[in-house]
Structure 1
């Protein structure tokens, strides 16, 4: 429940405040231009890196290796692309962190820890 409050109330409120501040500081047209450019950039990066992650998953499966890291990268790329497509400076920053390979490598251990915690709480089930 706390997550939904953060997701649907707090983050949009912060984004609106940042839009107002940006509009007053640099102007309305540059603010709108930044939003459009980050959306286009997000779509381009997500497509490019998403296809690369898909190739790595296929290659791992072809070699008989479990594609865990490649799948995790794919999830990060998908989330980063969605965040970059949504208007807002905070979501754009987080989305960019998820799309850049060197920052994604440092986020991956944290994400693995969260997934293991969910599995331990029986919030995620793995069927074999």
Structure 2
């Protein structure tokens, strides 16, 4: 918990120092031009890469493949674009690194053991990821029937108290 707080407090100091160093090396106007250029590049890369990620997510969802990797890549691309848009050279360097696929793959390998992806809205209903040891049998519409005597609008339930008529 302390590490993010320290980074949050130190990052602005690093950015201010980088502005001073770059400004002394190339001048004020070129420094400001670099800041504006990096923001424009961040917006452009987000639009270009974002559309590609959405296409890959859609194709993986259609194939039934685990979308976890693409979701992490998408999140890292958003962070990278945000770091490019926000003024600062240190953040720009980190943002440019996050646009490299092998860096995102490395981050995916670090994050993968901690992520559980649940499937949702498959076949018209919401399903969560099941463990292999669950004793659940999914039946199709043609594989079951209602018992005679069920009330219209109120399906029979094993939890219904038949004597009282309450669930």
* Bucket of the pairwise TM-score, normalised by the shorter protein: 0.7 to 0.9
The answer to which structure, 1 or 2, has the higher relative contact order (CA under 8 A, 6+ apart) is 1
Q: Is 1:73 the counterpart of 2:73 in the alignment?
A: yes
Query: After TM superposition, which residue ranges in structure 1, 4 or more long, deviate above 6 angstroms?
Result: none
Q: Distance in 2 between matches of 1:86 and 1:112?
A: 28
Q: Point out the structure with max Rg over C-alpha.
A: 2
User: Which residue is 2:85 aligned to?
Assistant: 85
Alignment gaps of 5+ in structure 2? 119-127, 129-167
Aligned length: 118
User: Which residue is 2:35 aligned to?
Assistant: 35
CA contact (8 A) 2:68 2:117 kept: no
Alignment gaps of 5+ in structure 1? 120-124
What are the equivalent positions in structure 2 for 1:8-23 lying under 5 Å apart? 9-23=9-23
Structure with more helix by fraction: 1
When residues 90 and 111 of structure 1 are mapped into structure 2, their CA distance, relative to the original with a 3 A threshold, is farther
Q: Distance in 1 between matches of 2:29 and 2:112?
A: 41
Q: TM-score, normalised by structure 1?
A: 0.82
Q: Is 1:98 the counterpart of 2:93 in the alignment?
A: no
When residues 66 and 79 of structure 1 are mapped into structure 2, their CA distance, relative to the original with a 3 A threshold, is same
